[in-house]
Structure 1
Amino acid sequence: MIFDRKNIDNDGLITFYKKLLLPRLVEEKMLILLRQGRISKWFSGIGQEAIAVGSTLAMQPDEYILPMHRNLGVFTARNIPISRLMAQWQGKMSGFTRGRDRSFHFGTQEYKIVGMISHLGPQLALADGIALADKLSGQQKVTLVYTGEGATSEGDFHEALNIAAVWDLPVIFLVENNGYALSTPTNEQYRCEALADRAIGYGIEGRRINGNNILEVYDTVNELAQDMRRKPRPALLECMTFRMRGHEEASGTKYVPQHLFEEWRQHDPLDNFEQYLLDEQVLRKEWVPYLREEFTKLIDIEIEKVFNEPDIVPHAQTELNSVYRTYHKPEPKPYEVLSGKRYIDAISDGLRQSMRKYSNLVIMGQDIAEYGGAFKITQGFVEEFGKERVRNTPICESGIVGAAMGLALNGYKAVVEMQFADFVSSGFNQVVNNLAKTYYRWGQHVDVVIRMPTGAGTGAGPFHSQSNEAWFTKTPGLKVVYPAFPDDAKGLLMSAIEDPNPVMYFEHKYLYRSTTGNVPDDDHYVEIGKANIVRKGTKASIITYGLGVHWAMEYADNHPEQSIEILDLRSLQPWDKEAVEKTVMKTSKVLILHEDTLTSGFGGELAAYIGEHLFKYLDAPVMRCGSLDTPIPMNKALEDQFLAKARLEEFMARLLSF
């Protein structure tokens, strides 16, 4: 192994050595603790430390790094105390996630580190968003994100690199190629000779280097970063290395030919660098045991300190209170000027006024810039706010949701437009596992709104007409809103953008141009989680939302003698239990109506709650009226039959007959 110190002085080289030695000794201690049964699991990075340490030392302290689970050297090189790391690994209250997650599945704004989730690929797009925030704010910074050779097979890898290339984002995508994705060797993962060659397909620079040479890693990352700060653009860096332990210790290494261990042991990053420093007389031989002893003492003290910390005592309310970040909601105010607006115009109004209010708000989506979006909601926005803040995106829902999260991590607000709500399935993992869980896991709010043009009535078929709100109402950490009227459409959108938590904002396509109402011209906020009685009655209640509200109103208009009360939920997560309780206690007969399919639709949750908590007030069984349990068809007659509206008369007659 050839080392080139370039202009690094002796003190600098000693610093590099110490930074390389510390994570190795921590790893060795963890393996001892594992054999002793004092810890239960460990992902070892022994043999790969030069990548984490060398690349981290090349970054500025205030630049973000997004590591993987074998990158202990990132955390130690950023000087995170061993006790904090151990507390994280042991699930102690003093850990970064307070026992809510394990390993390196956490982030810390203090040290500018954002950890991975187990799905491996999603953090790549987060790096795009972080870098975009730096670029928009004029910061000359670079973001470093790691992945493994196995994860380069994931769609998230392609999407993130493509976005970074198209937007000229200063991201170094570092691939640790250690030969195996758990047990699957590279020849079963990809056919290209070098992963760095994939850079050509994205129109970006790609390099392949010796990942076990700490100076080569440092020099390469330092050179790239310095140039990228001046001229923002992405780069793909493949670091060749080898995993000397199993994927995690329980998996073993029997699937790896023994000769590979013999060969790679000769390329150990610590041993080789240590010998180089001894040969150069930068390091004295007698210093080595002294340094090891000093670090070992420190590690032992830090680790035992954590073992002596008390175990977490669970409190259910504490956990429930940690799912969403609380914030000061805007005070309601009287509105002097109201204008008649269509549902679609109210949404556009709320979005435009929020863009004016927040200079750090960015909206992203397919065709939303000059074209104005598939439904023209953002028409004219580019002329007012510019293409930096109104961003056309490649067709890559996962990457864009991830980039929105990265923006939020780096101090921005983001609104993502799904061209159709159906397409969110391509970004599902980012929504339910990254956006939703981040605040609960490590206390970082994620200020993202995803606009979801949804619903039927236009004969658009199975992939443009689904009602998929129930996919998200069961996911803790997400808020879900679904306005039925123009004033609520504006008020809930502005509240969603104000809210620091991720919000799924469902807007019904059929209502865009068919529904008109008076809407405040000024900033307008409707509190998330508050339902609204749109019609008072005494004989029965219809609890509904979205287009279902209009079906219910039409039914009540056709049956004035029945005195039907209609409760528009407006918000599905959180939902207004108090309002539901009041209407049930008032009328004693309840029908829950929604456009979604009947089975596992959100109405099932409402019915269960009413049956469990309000049974004594009921004069009839709780009825649910939902759409057929089939995919939604395209043909108009079939679509009409599918929708819950087709059975509303029948179900109400059955309810009122009790």
Structure 2
Amino acid sequence: MKFIRKNYTDDILKKLYESLLFPRMIEEKMLILLRQNKISKWFSGIGQEAISVGITQALHPEEYILPMHRNLGVFTGRDIPFEKLFAQWQGTMAGFTKGRDRSFHFGTNEHHIVGMISHLGPQNGVADGIALATKLKGEKKVTVVFNGDGGTSQGDFHEAINVAAVWDLPVIFVVENNGYGLSTPSSEQFRCKNFIDKAIGYGIEGIQVDGNNVLEVYDTILSIADKLRENPRPILLECITFRMRGHEEASGTKYVPKELMDTWAKKDPVENFEKYLVEQGVIDAIYIEQTRKKFKKEIEEGLEVAFQETHPQPDTERELNDVYTPFTQTIIQPSTDKKSEKRFIDAISDGLRQSMERFDNLVLMGQDIAEYGGVFKITEGFVEKFGKGRVRNTPLCEAAIVGTALGLSVKAMKAMVEMQFADFVTEGFNQIVNNLAKTHWRWGQSADVVVRMPTGAGTAAGPFHSQSNEAWFFHTPGLKIVYPSNPYDAKGLLCAALEDPNPVMYFEHKLLYRTLKDFIPDDYYTIEIGKAKLIREGESLSIITYGMGVHWATEIMDTLPDVKADIVDLRTLLPWDKDAVLETVKKTNRVLVLHEDTLTGGVGAEIAAWISEHCFQHLDAPVMREASLDTAIPFAPTLEQNFLPKIRLKNKIEELLKY
């Protein structure tokens, strides 16, 4: 291993050495504790420390790093107290996640680190968002995100690099190429010889370094980072290295040929750099002994503090309260009485435009939403008013863009992501349910993101453009779900969703876009999220519904003049208004839950179950449901109408009344 000192001072070289040695000594202690059964699991980075250390020491302290399991040197390099790190690993309250997550599955804005989740790849999109925020703010910073060679097979990796390339984002995508994805060798993971070859396909620069040479890594990052701060663009950095321990300790390394282990043992990053510094007269045996003694004392003292912590005492109220970022909504009334007739689609556009005026940190992202104005023209004219920086066309990469939205949140910005059709959200599903939804509960980071979802059938668009998929998210704590049924609510709830610092899935029915109009306030206003609305009053039964169901229920009730019903428009599905439901059940004693989504496992199932459990004494009949058939949505108009619940609704009402 050849170290090239250049003009680096003794102090810099000592700092690099100490930054290498400290995580190595922590790891060695962790392996002892693991054998003593004092810790439960460990992901070792022994043999790879030079990458984490070289990168972290070369960056400015306020520049974000998104590390992975084996990047302990990032955390120690950012001066996180060892006892706090150990508390995190042990799952105690003193850790960053209050015992809710383990290892490096956490972030800390104080130290400018955003950790990973177990799904490999999503961290890359988040890095894009952080870098985008720094670029929009003119901060001249770089962002670094780590990947293992195995994880580069994930679509998130490809999507995030492509977005960074198209948008010229200052992101260094680090690939730690250690030859294995857990136990699977590179030959069974990919066909390319070098990862830097992939950079050509993205139209970006690729650089390869000896990942065990801390001086080479440090020097390379210093040079790259300086360039990217002045000329933002992404770079793919391949670090050739080797993992000397198992993927985690229980997995071992029996699958690795002995000669390969022996070869890489000679390239140990700590031992080689230490030997070099001794040869150069930078350090000596006394210095090494004193440094090791100092670190050992720090580790032992940190362990003594951390071992006094116990696992958290369960507190159900605390667990539930931390699901969402604390937010008390202030309802904003229109400042004047001025109203204009607007279609449903115009109301959405109006609310989005006024929110952009109100929040200068709000960024809109979606396919074709800029000059084209989106496929439904909701953002038409927005580029001219707000600029390409804030109204951004995206590549076809929903996962990367949702991740980018979270990254913007990390930098205290707001984001709106438009799914061209709600059906396409499957491409970003992991980012929504595992990153957006869980981030605040895990480590206190809000996900200030609204995902707009053009949804619903009735336009003969078939099974991939018409799905009602709100139930997919209804089961996910941490998300909020809004589903307006009229222009007034569409604007007020969208403005409210964009104010809320929590992730909101905002469903808008495509069939209502241009078929429904009303006079609504011209001014900015909001509606309470989580509050239902009584659309029509009656004594015969209660119809609890939302979205298109409100219009079906109203239409059918107009054909039954002798029957008077409460029609409750939920408007918000998560959290849904239990008080309003209880009130109407107590009043009419007969309940029908109606929705466009398929019957089995739909939102109506939960509402019906809740009514049966909490309102049983008020019922004169079973809680009934009407919904779409349990099939995919067919294309032909005749089949589509048969699929939808409207044609069965009148019979279901009569059945309920006869019970």
| Higher alpha-carbon deviation: 432-441 or 513-522 | 513-522
Structure 2 partner of 1:390:
391
Structure 2 partner of 1:380:
381
2:620 is aligned with 1:613: no
Structure 2 partner of 1:353:
354
What is the alpha-carbon distance in structure 2 between the residues aligned to residue 567 and residue 560 of structure 1? 18
- 1:376 deviates by 0.4
- Assess if the C-alpha contact under 8 Å between 2:331 and 2:527 holds in 1: no
Structure 2 partner of 1:519:
520
Structure 2 partner of 1:436:
437
2:24 is aligned with 1:28: no
- Assess if the C-alpha contact under 8 Å between 2:129 and 2:406 holds in 1: yes
Structure 2 partner of 1:572:
573
Task: Provide Cα deviations, 1:341-385, integer angstroms capped at 9, x if missing partner.
Answer: 110000000000000011111000000011110100001111101
2:530 is aligned with 1:529: yes
Structure 2 partner of 1:483:
484
2:416 is aligned with 1:415: yes
What is the alpha-carbon distance in structure 1 between the residues aligned to residue 63 and residue 572 of structure 2? 38
The letter for the 2-side match of 1:549 is V
- SS in structure 2 of the partner of residue 565 of structure 1: strand
- SS in structure 2 of the partner of residue 209 of structure 1: strand
- SS in structure 1 of the partner of residue 207 of structure 2: strand
| Higher alpha-carbon deviation: 430-439 or 402-411 | 402-411
What is the alpha-carbon distance in structure 2 between the residues aligned to residue 261 and residue 388 of structure 1? 49
Structure 2 partner of 1:232:
232
Instruction: Note the aligned Cα RMSD (angstroms).
Output: 0.7
- 1:11 deviates by 1.3
The letter for the 1-side match of 2:542 is S
- SS in structure 2 of the partner of residue 426 of structure 1: helix
1:216-231 alignment to 2 at 5 Å? Answer: 216-231=216-231
1:179-194 alignment to 2 at 5 Å? Answer: 179-194=179-194
2:243 is aligned with 1:268: no
Structure 1 partner of 2:158:
158
- 1:288 deviates by 1.4
What is the alpha-carbon distance in structure 2 between the residues aligned to residue 340 and residue 86 of structure 1? 60
Structure 2 partner of 1:623:
624
What is the alpha-carbon distance in structure 1 between the residues aligned to residue 496 and residue 400 of structure 2? 25
Structure 1 partner of 2:209:
209
1:267-346 alignment to 2 at 5 Å? Answer: 267-333=267-333, 336-346=337-347
- 1:644 deviates by 1.0
The letter for the 1-side match of 2:47 is G
Task: Provide Cα deviations, 1:512-537, integer angstroms capped at 9, x if missing partner.
Answer: 01111121111110111000000011
Unaligned runs of 5+ in 2: none
- Assess if the C-alpha contact under 8 Å between 2:483 and 2:546 holds in 1: yes
- 1:558 deviates by 1.2
1:43-62 alignment to 2 at 5 Å? Answer: 43-62=43-62
- 1:4 deviates by 1.1
Structure 2 partner of 1:172:
172
- SS in structure 2 of the partner of residue 125 of structure 1: helix
What is the alpha-carbon distance in structure 1 between the residues aligned to residue 467 and residue 309 of structure 2? 50
What is the alpha-carbon distance in structure 1 between the residues aligned to residue 408 and residue 60 of structure 2? 19
What is the alpha-carbon distance in structure 2 between the residues aligned to residue 587 and residue 463 of structure 1? 39
- 1:8 deviates by 1.1
- 1:2 deviates by 0.6
2:195 is aligned with 1:195: yes
What is the alpha-carbon distance in structure 2 between the residues aligned to residue 392 and residue 330 of structure 1? 32
2:493 is aligned with 1:492: yes
What is the alpha-carbon distance in structure 2 between the residues aligned to residue 309 and residue 456 of structure 1? 54
| Displacement over 6 Å in runs of 4+ | none
Scaled by the length of structure 2, the TM-score of the pair is 0.99
The letter for the 1-side match of 2:655 is R
Task: Provide Cα deviations, 1:81-121, integer angstroms capped at 9, x if missing partner.
Answer: 00110010011101000001000000000000000000110
| Higher alpha-carbon deviation: 202-211 or 303-312 | 303-312
- SS in structure 2 of the partner of residue 259 of structure 1: helix
- SS in structure 2 of the partner of residue 562 of structure 1: coil
What is the alpha-carbon distance in structure 1 between the residues aligned to residue 46 and residue 463 of structure 2? 50
- 1:214 deviates by 0.2
- 1:330 deviates by 2.3
What is the alpha-carbon distance in structure 1 between the residues aligned to residue 475 and residue 494 of structure 2? 21
What is the alpha-carbon distance in structure 2 between the residues aligned to residue 255 and residue 269 of structure 1? 23
The letter for the 2-side match of 1:521 is D
Structure 2 partner of 1:78:
78
What is the alpha-carbon distance in structure 2 between the residues aligned to residue 425 and residue 435 of structure 1? 14
The letter for the 1-side match of 2:94 is S
| Higher alpha-carbon deviation: 555-564 or 467-476 | 555-564
- SS in structure 2 of the partner of residue 25 of structure 1: helix
What is the alpha-carbon distance in structure 2 between the residues aligned to residue 290 and residue 165 of structure 1? 47
Task: Provide Cα deviations, 1:488-524, integer angstroms capped at 9, x if missing partner.
Answer: 0001100000000000000000000111112111111
What is the alpha-carbon distance in structure 2 between the residues aligned to residue 440 and residue 327 of structure 1? 14
Structure 2 partner of 1:126:
126
- 1:419 deviates by 0.2
The letter for the 2-side match of 1:535 is R
What is the alpha-carbon distance in structure 2 between the residues aligned to residue 516 and residue 564 of structure 1? 24
Structure 2 partner of 1:596:
597
2:642 is aligned with 1:636: no
The letter for the 1-side match of 2:34 is L
What is the alpha-carbon distance in structure 2 between the residues aligned to residue 148 and residue 325 of structure 1? 32
Task: Provide Cα deviations, 1:145-188, integer angstroms capped at 9, x if missing partner.
Answer: 00010011111111000000000000000000111100000011
- SS in structure 2 of the partner of residue 120 of structure 1: coil
- Assess if the C-alpha contact under 8 Å between 2:50 and 2:217 holds in 1: yes
- Assess if the C-alpha contact under 8 Å between 2:484 and 2:546 holds in 1: yes
The letter for the 2-side match of 1:525 is T
What is the alpha-carbon distance in structure 1 between the residues aligned to residue 598 and residue 640 of structure 2? 12
- 1:310 deviates by 3.4
What is the alpha-carbon distance in structure 2 between the residues aligned to residue 528 and residue 578 of structure 1? 14
- 1:127 deviates by 0.5
- Assess if the C-alpha contact under 8 Å between 2:541 and 2:589 holds in 1: yes
- SS in structure 2 of the partner of residue 3 of structure 1: coil
What is the alpha-carbon distance in structure 1 between the residues aligned to residue 424 and residue 651 of structure 2? 33
1:356-371 alignment to 2 at 5 Å? Answer: 356-371=357-372
Structure 1 partner of 2:149:
149
- Assess if the C-alpha contact under 8 Å between 2:331 and 2:528 holds in 1: no
2:572 is aligned with 1:554: no
- SS in structure 2 of the partner of residue 561 of structure 1: coil
- 1:564 deviates by 1.0
1:400-411 alignment to 2 at 5 Å? Answer: 400-411=401-412
What is the alpha-carbon distance in structure 2 between the residues aligned to residue 96 and residue 377 of structure 1? 41
- 1:303 deviates by 1.1
2:115 is aligned with 1:115: yes
- SS in structure 2 of the partner of residue 330 of structure 1: coil
- SS in structure 1 of the partner of residue 139 of structure 2: coil
- 1:646 deviates by 1.7
- 1:317 deviates by 1.0
- Assess if the C-alpha contact under 8 Å between 2:205 and 2:235 holds in 1: yes
What is the alpha-carbon distance in structure 2 between the residues aligned to residue 48 and residue 212 of structure 1? 6
Structure 2 partner of 1:41:
41
Task: Provide Cα deviations, 1:12-43, integer angstroms capped at 9, x if missing partner.
Answer: 11111111000000000000000000001000
| Higher alpha-carbon deviation: 319-328 or 446-455 | 319-328
What is the alpha-carbon distance in structure 1 between the residues aligned to residue 317 and residue 338 of structure 2? 42
1:452-463 alignment to 2 at 5 Å? Answer: 452-463=453-464
- 1:338 deviates by 1.9
The letter for the 1-side match of 2:296 is T
- 1:290 deviates by 2.1
- 1:560 deviates by 2.2
The letter for the 2-side match of 1:610 is I
